[in-house]
Amino acid sequence: MAKVNIPTFKMNNGLEIPALGYGTWLGLDDNLKFITSGFPQLVEALSYAIDIGYRHIDTAHLYRVEPEVGDVINKKIQDGVVKREELFVTTKVWHHYHRAADVEVSVRASLRRLGLDYIDLALMHWPMSISQDGVDEKIDYLETWRGFESVLHKGLVKAIGVSNFNLDQMKRLIANCEVKPVVNQVEINLNLGQSALVDYCQSQGVITVAYSPFGTMVPSRAAPHSPEPKMDNPVMVALAKKYGKTVTQITLRYLYQRNIIALPKTVTKSRVLENASIFDFTIDKSDMATLAAFDNDYRTVRPTFWQDYENYPFDKVASKMDIPIDLKIWKNGANADIE
Ligand code: NDP
């Protein structure tokens, strides 16, 4: 069987984090309903990912796949493929659990669903606090962070971090925390370079983790009027040819060379291997500059339905939609897997 060798970065708490992870968000369909039909493919692809050497798995309460992800992990441990301490499992706390005490409730529920006795990295999924009914709870993310510090001190998690924090929010958090976040997980791809945010985080010893690393480049995510580069972009195709790699591999390698951890999601086995086969070549300086020039501040993930909530981290647009029900309420209406 093919194997991949994924290097690690050192976090500001002294622990290691693999420099590429497996993303487990299956997304919403055209009707904004959660895609549950993909569970069997996810289980198979994640199982294969661990077999070939992935060690970093990114999930979240929201994704509704923690039980499946946990089953795969525990099976691989039982089968002797991997030891628990060799894996790095991230999960996230959703908007409804931003009171400091609720962070522990959410983390304990994730542990139960995953069937694990600790989580490697727990993230605040977004800086906003919103109830299941869509009420803006206006809980300061600094209060929520106290809850994260508490689960860290209790040993439920080995590291704590944030996601979707903008530059001002990162500065305020870092100025007012007891424990620094180890990562900020945000969208980064060729269209959204986020250089000011990445530079600041790196200057503070906070690693940037990139979600949606392909943006709208891949056909499955293509959006009307979304900018270049697409998979058939001549510049990208020429670079792929020059390095003997694919366009998606060039994209992921570019992020790695910026010291950013990418979380590509795929349920396609051949792509699982392809996406992690990026640690055996180097993009030269002038090609890095060519790739950087695609940055045009275009966001693939723009949840306008949250834009009027306190602490929404992105700029607002003129028209917004309602919050999709599947992003508010799940498990028969009450997130019933959380007591
Ligand atoms: P990605 O950029 O990973 O894109 C996923 C899409 O790309 C899928 O349609 C997949 O298809 C396709 N794909 C993957 N690899 C290849 C390849 N080599 N060639 C061609 N197509 C490919 O986007 P996501 O939005 O899924 O982000 C990745 C992960 O980041 C998520 O799974 C999640 O873990 C995390 N995330 C975190 C967020 C946050 O708020 N913190 C928000 C969004 C994502 P297929 O599966 O059919 O192969």
pLDDT given for residue 333 in this prediction: 42
pLDDT given for residue 335 in this prediction: 54
pLDDT given for residue 337 in this prediction: 56
125-150 burial: b if 16+ Cβ within 10 Å, else e: bbbbbbeeebebeebebeebbbbbeb
Closest of 59, 53, 58, 87 to residue 73, by C-alpha: 87
Return the C-alpha torsion angle 124, 119, 63, 66, nearest 10: -160
Ligand 1 neighbour 25 (Cβ under 6 A): yes
Number of domain units in the chain? 1
pLDDT given for residue 319 in this prediction: 80
pTM of this prediction exceeds 0.95: yes
* 106 found inside a domain: yes
Cα(225)–Cα(220) distance, integer angstroms: 14
Which residue type is seen at 63? Y
ipTM (interface predicted TM): 0.99
Ligand 1 neighbour 274 (Cβ under 6 A): yes
pLDDT given for residue 330 in this prediction: 65
The answer on whether 225 is annotated among ligand-binding residues is no
pLDDT, one tens digit for every residue, the chain (339 residues): 899 999 999 999 999 999 999 999 998 888 888 888 889 999 999 999 999 999 999 999 999 999 999 999 999 999 999 999 999 999 999 999 999 999 999 999 999 999 999 999 999 999 999 998 889 999 999 999 999 999 999 999 999 999 999 999 999 999 999 999 999 999 999 999 999 999 999 999 999 999 999 999 998 888 878 999 999 999 999 999 999 999 999 999 999 999 999 999 999 999 999 999 999 999 999 999 999 999 999 999 999 999 999 999 999 998 878 888 888 876 544 455 554
Percent of the chain as helix, strand, coil, to the nearest 5: 40, 15, 45
Ligand 1 neighbour 185 (Cβ under 6 A): yes
Alpha carbon nearest to ligand 1 atom 30, residue: 211
* 317 found inside a domain: no
* 323 found inside a domain: no
* 3 found inside a domain: no
Cα(37)–Cα(258) distance, integer angstroms: 35
* 262 found inside a domain: yes
Tell me how far the alpha carbon of residue 210 lies from the centroid of ligand 1, in angstroms.
10
For ligand 1, mutation pick of 22, 48, 212, 216 (most atoms within 8 Å of CB)? 212
- Joined together, the tokens standing for residue 116 give 């694990």
Ligand 1 neighbour 146 (Cβ under 6 A): no
- The CATH number given to whatever domain includes residue 159 is 3.20.20.100
Tell me how far the alpha carbon of residue 211 lies from the centroid of ligand 1, in angstroms.
7
Tell me how far the alpha carbon of residue 214 lies from the centroid of ligand 1, in angstroms.
7
Q: Give me the helix-helix angle, 66-78 and 100-114, nearest 10°.
A: 50
pLDDT given for residue 338 in this prediction: 56
* 61 found inside a domain: yes
* 325 found inside a domain: no
Catalytic residue among 63, 254, 256, 309: 63
* 309 found inside a domain: no
Which atom belonging to ligand 1 lies closest to the Cα atom of 38? 46
Domain containing residue 242 = 8-299
Known active-site residue 312: no
